[in-house]
Amino acid sequence: MRNQIVQEDLREIVQEDISWELFRDSTILITGANGILPSYMVDTLMYLNESREYNIHVVGVVRHIEKARRRFLENDKLEFLEQDVCLPIDYKGNIDYIIHAAGQASPKFYGKDPVGTIEGHILGTDNCLRLAVEKDVKGVLYFSSCDVYGTVYEDRVMDENYIGKIDSLSGRSCYPVGKLAGESLCIAYEKQYDVPVKIMRIAHTYGPFTPLDDGRVFADFVGNILRNEDISLHSDGSAERPMLYIGDAVR
């Protein structure tokens, strides 16, 4: 039985005017399938099977298969590969689409493992793109980040053409530099091997299943509320950044 909020979100998502037929009878490989946003995409594709009989097969690449089995309802259209994306992805069957969403996204975690973070973004993206060439896929979606815009030195709304400054020597640069390198790899594979790639620069996404130890502001605030604590700020509170509800992000 799904959480009621998730069920309502899925119902709204699939009612969106999207070319859902593209996914009928297809196999979609999703890396980082345990993650907050990609797991909701898995839920959406499984819901399409239930509500419209689309016969979509999802291959979820995860680092912890037991966590995946706890997170998802058992389904014969959903299978898991337990591995690190830094290693080549060996899947014998056909693949129509790849969604590459694996990667450390919380400063709390990539601050502890900067090497694993940057390797995951670069090596993991390269392995996904090599697989895309091998399987001659119809499309690849790469999860990048708004962090690639770098530091904003002026009061402005950023558009896709804005280029800020990233200090490659900063302790936290493993994340934005890794994401930028992943974007460049996508463009390189598109130019050299005609891999059809789309890049999505994601803002902070929140919603059900966000763990309270996530380390980002929305999880911290909710944790404060649930523990009946005052909201705790670790800055002067003047910072601004976009946030997006998970149902809208999936759409």
From 69, 75, 62, 72, select the one nearest 30 (Cα to Cα). Answer: 62
Q: Which of 47, 175, 189, 206 is catalytic?
A: 175
Helix residue ranges per DSSP H, 53-113? 65-71, 107-110
Q: Are 86 and 124 in contact (CB under 8 A)?
A: yes
Residues 6+ apart with CB under 8 A from 187: 197
* Residue 97: strand pairing partners: 28, 139
Taking residue 141's Cβ as centre, other Cβ atoms within 10 Å add up to 18
Residues 6+ apart with CB under 8 A from 91: 29, 59, 81, 131
Query: What is the C-alpha separation between 29 and 142, in angstroms, rounded?
Result: 12
Residue 206 in 3-state DSSP? strand
Phi and psi torsions of 18, nearest 5°: -125, 150
Q: Are 175 and 110 in contact (CB under 8 A)?
A: yes
Taking residue 156's Cβ as centre, other Cβ atoms within 10 Å add up to 8
Confirm whether 142 is a catalytic residue.
no
Q: Which residues are catalytic?
A: 175
